[in-house]
Structure 1
Amino acid sequence: MIYSEVKVSGIEDVEKRLGNMKKEAPAVVSRAINRAIQNVKKNMGKETSSRYFITSGEVKKTVNVTKATKSRLKAAAISQGGGIALSKFKVNPGTPVRYRGKSRSPKVYKAGVKKSGGAKPLDGDPKSFVAVMKSGHKGVFTRISGDGLPIKQNYGPSVPQMVKNEDIMKIINKDANETLKKRIDAEVSNILRKG
């Protein structure tokens, strides 16, 4: 699990800026926090998919957001989940192994999780292979024992493991703080303009 929180501990500065409309401060701050936490979720997807062979949508599916309210000035984005099937990352070739017919199966499959590392051969013994199960699920599998049927699916890291990358979290937190500040400024200006 990876947990990212946006909160404001004191709203005195916002109250001061609002003057005689200071009762609006909790609403101003909660709206700003909620905008910032939505950016956290978006950036978790964007930054993770820019470094790993996974889609932004796959990342965002694992993120639950708890919004701020006027009485609770904090919000959280929590990513939870287990290892992801290796087939969701980059697998080359993506064609399933064939046992009959004219087309030949590849000598070795390659898989890549991190974009900076590229795809690496899955050349262990026994070798891994791509197959489509009766359910329609396409995965990367390895036989548990040389011949015979028992197979296990290969997995890559979980989304929380990828998101907790120091570079990703640094960008997410920096953007959340900037968004929070900008949104508070915009909300205060908006209320003062309406008078």
Structure 2
Amino acid sequence: MLKLSINADVKGIAASMQKYVGEQQKAVVRALNKTAMQARTAAAQEVRSAGYNIKSSAIKRSFIIDKARPARLVVTLKATGRPIALINYGARQGKNGVSVQVKTGRQVLRHAFIATMQNGHRGVFQRTGNGHKKIKRNGKVLRTGLPIKELFGPSIPQSLANDAVEKAIMAKIREKFPRILRHELDFIASKR
């Protein structure tokens, strides 16, 4: 399982946040957590705009958000996940192999095929041996194409590790946090 962790550089902000106490500190915590949620959404949009053919909901589900608390004014976004099966990248069987769209444009994988296993799992597979083998079963000679292996595309953390995606996420965090914090502090001031 791969992990990608995003930690915003908030050293300058952290020093100024120490002056907030009580309700104001709760506003800082809410602002940090809301910014993390918006960064998660921005990450999903950036991965898709970078050309990866992954569903936005799957990207959002891969994130674990370690939320900020009054005692710990840090929020962490972690993307975890295994490589995604190629069947999920719009796989189509053709006479020359299987075509998939991992990034922009379709690619044909020669010698690959789509199959459904006995347990119902469907995937894109490729033979790993040297062609068909002859085996004897119940006195009959049969030809088998085993062993086979399933093919996978990039995982969500791998697609997030793209430099353009990381820069866009950090820019979104730097842009949104001051606005959200100002909004939260104004809300507290309006209640008094």
- Give the TM-score of the pair, scaled to structure 1: 0.81
Aligned to 1:165: 162
Distance 2:44 2:118 in 1: 31
Aligned to 2:138: none
Unmatched runs of 5 consecutive residues or more in structure 1: 16-21, 94-104
Aligned to 2:141: none
Aligned to 1:97: none
Q: How many residues align?
A: 173
Kindly report the root-mean-square deviation, in angstroms, between the aligned alpha carbons of the 2 structures. Answer: 1.9
Aligned to 1:39: 38
Q: Say which structure is richer in strand.
A: 2
Within a 5 Å distance, the mapping from 1:51-90 to structure 2 comes to: 51-90=51-90
Letter aligned with residue 140 of structure 1: V
Cα deviation 1:79-115 (Å, max 9, x = unaligned): 112211111113234xxxxxxxxxxx62322122112
Which of 94, 100, 109 lines up with 1:111 in the alignment?
Answer: 100
Aligned to 1:11: 16
Aligned to 1:122: 109
| Contact in 1 for aligned 2:31/2:181 (Cα 8 Å) | yes
Give 1:12 shift. Answer: 5.0
Which of 154, 177, 182 lines up with 2:179 in the alignment?
Answer: 182
Letter aligned with residue 40 of structure 1: A
SS at match of 1:11: helix
Give 1:14 shift. Answer: 6.5
Q: Is 2:12 the counterpart of 1:28?
A: no
Letter aligned with residue 92 of structure 2: N
Aligned to 1:139: 123
Give 1:172 shift. Answer: 1.1
Unmatched runs of 5 consecutive residues or more in structure 2: 133-144
Distance 2:158 2:166 in 1: 11
Distance 1:136 1:59 in 2: 25
Letter aligned with residue 184 of structure 1: L
SS at match of 1:32: helix
Give 1:48 shift. Answer: 1.4
Identity rate, percent: 29
